[in-house]
């Protein structure tokens, strides 16, 4: 059975999903939704997709449509996820699920009521480097004592990963911290019970903090320190140090090293080295198998409860 899927959000990250889906059998993209019709049609033509529109509602009316992937601006994620569920479609929404906790809770409730697969793009759960560590943790061969994480960008203007102007503003707390907050609880296999945050000055034009520091503690005693910045000129990206009872590991996207900087082969961990492809494969497998996916909206909701508490703390 071919799964017919639509992509909403034809920007830099949306195209990563289109590239990934080309590698997954029995999945066909039949519609792409974007903000500007001309640019959306360019993307549709590039990937051989028949239908292009600026209206998600129009796409949701297509009879053969089974599922939607949302790679739209953060502020639209929760409302569009609800829109897809209301239309009876399975949905995968890019991280973050929401930027208001109440909206995330509403999505989880509606997903439960509809019985549709509803998943959030917490890619770190799927990167082979982090999967390798997770398998050791599940096997009882490694337990986290501390995670030290750096998420660094140089983004003093409102640009996306392709160097194009964004129509929306990115956020260190609700977007970039979400990756690590969720991954820490997932890898520690223990809920977060303490969280503290500090932030630097608010940018006069963007209206967001450009630097942030977060401390987390899990119920089992593991701790995490996360540093985030939009002011860093390099190197760029997110770097994870796992300090555990039987070793130290450094994860840099899909590469993994031990504490002596010796590379660990993670090429056999999964069918691909591409975290986005593995994430999408999980989404489509959950649809076919009628099961809850890894990174379901229900599984990741505790992350957003922590982010909400940190936001309240920072506002105070």
| 242-267 pLDDT tens trace | 999 999 999 988 899 999 999 999 99
Query: Does the 127-269 domain belong in CATH 3.30.429.10?
Result: no
Instruction: Give the chain's mean pLDDT.
Output: 94
Average pLDDT over residues 119-131: 97
169 versus 58: which is more confidently predicted?
58
Cα–Cα distance measured from residue 150 to residue 69, given in angstroms and rounded to the nearest whole number: 28
Query: How far, CA to CA in Å, does 146 sit from each of 93, 149, 308?
Result: 29, 10, 23
pLDDT of residue 211: 95
What pLDDT, on a 0 to 100 scale, did the predictor assign at position 10? 92
The domains spanning 3-122+276-294 and 127-269 adopt the same CATH topology: no
User: What is the pTM (predicted TM-score) of this model?
Assistant: 0.94
pLDDT at res. 121 = 97
Q: How far apart are CA 273 and CA 266, in angstroms?
A: 8
Q: 65-96 burial, b for 16+ CB within 10 Å, e for fewer?
A: bbbbbbbbbbbbbbebbbbbbebebbbbbbbb
Q: With cut-offs at 50, 70 and 90, classify the pLDDT of residue 85.
A: very high
pLDDT at 159 over 80: no
CATH topology of domain 3-122+276-294: Rossmann fold (3.40.50)
pLDDT tens string 176-233? 999 999 999 999 999 999 999 999 999 888 888 899 999 999 999 999 999 999 999 9
pLDDT more than 70, % of the chain: 96
pLDDT above 80 for 275: yes
Is 164 a residue whose pLDDT tops 80?
Answer: no
State pLDDT tens for residues 15-41: 999 999 999 999 999 999 999 999 999
Phi, psi (5° rounding) for residue 215? -115, 135
DSSP string for residues in 187-243: HHTS-EEEEEEEE-PBPTTT-SBSEEEEEEEETTS-EEEEEEESB--SS-EEEEEEE
**The pLDDT of residue 158:** 55
Q: Is 267 exposed, middle or buried (0-12, 13-18, 19+ CB in 10 A)?
A: exposed
Per-residue pLDDT tens over the stretch 40-63: 999 999 999 999 999 999 999 999
- In this prediction, residue 154 has a pLDDT band, given cuts at 50, 70 and 90, of confident
Query: Domain map of the chain by residue range?
Result: 3-122+276-294, 127-269
What pLDDT is recorded for position 225? Answer: 98
């Amino acid at each position: 059975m071919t799964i017919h899927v639509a992509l909403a959000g034809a920007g830099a990250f949306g195209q990563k999903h289109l590239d990934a889906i080309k590698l997954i059998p029995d999945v066909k993209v039949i519609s792409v939704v974007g903000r500007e019709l001309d640019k959306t049609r360019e993307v549709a033509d590039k990937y051989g997709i028949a239908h292009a529109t600026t209206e998600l509602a129009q796409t949701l009316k297509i009879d053969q449509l089974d599922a939607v992937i949302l790679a739209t601006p953060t502020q639209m994620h929760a409302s569009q996820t609800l829109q897809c569920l209301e239309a009876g479609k399975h949905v995968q929404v890019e991280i973050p699920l929401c930027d208001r906790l109440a909206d995330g809770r509403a999505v989880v409730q509606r997903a439960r009521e509809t019985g549709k697969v509803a998943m959030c793009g917490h890619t770190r759960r799927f990167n082979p480097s982090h999967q390798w560590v997770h398998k050791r943790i599940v096997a009882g061969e490694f337990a986290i004592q501390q995670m030290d994480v750096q998420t660094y960008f140089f983004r003093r203007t409102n640009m996306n990963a392709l160097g194009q102007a964004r129509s929306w503003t990115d956020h260190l707390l609700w977007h970039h911290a979400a990756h690590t907050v969720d991954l820490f609880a997932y890898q520690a296999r223990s809920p977060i019970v303490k969280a503290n945050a500090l932030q630097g000055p608010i940018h006069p034009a963007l209206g967001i903090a450009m630097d942030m520091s977060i401390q987390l503690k899990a119920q089992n005693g593991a701790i995490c320190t996360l540093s985030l910045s939009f002011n860093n000129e390099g190197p760029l990206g997110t770097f994870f140090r796992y300090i555990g009872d039987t070793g130290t590991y450094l994860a840099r996207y899909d590469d993994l090293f031990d504490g002596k900087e010796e590379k660990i082969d993670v090429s056999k961990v999964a069918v691909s080295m591409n975290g986005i492809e593995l994430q999408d494969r999980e989404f489509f497998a959950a649809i076919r198998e009628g099961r809850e996916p890894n990174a379901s909206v229900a599984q990741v909701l505790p992350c957003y409860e922590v982010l909400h508490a940190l936001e309240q703390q920072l506002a105070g």
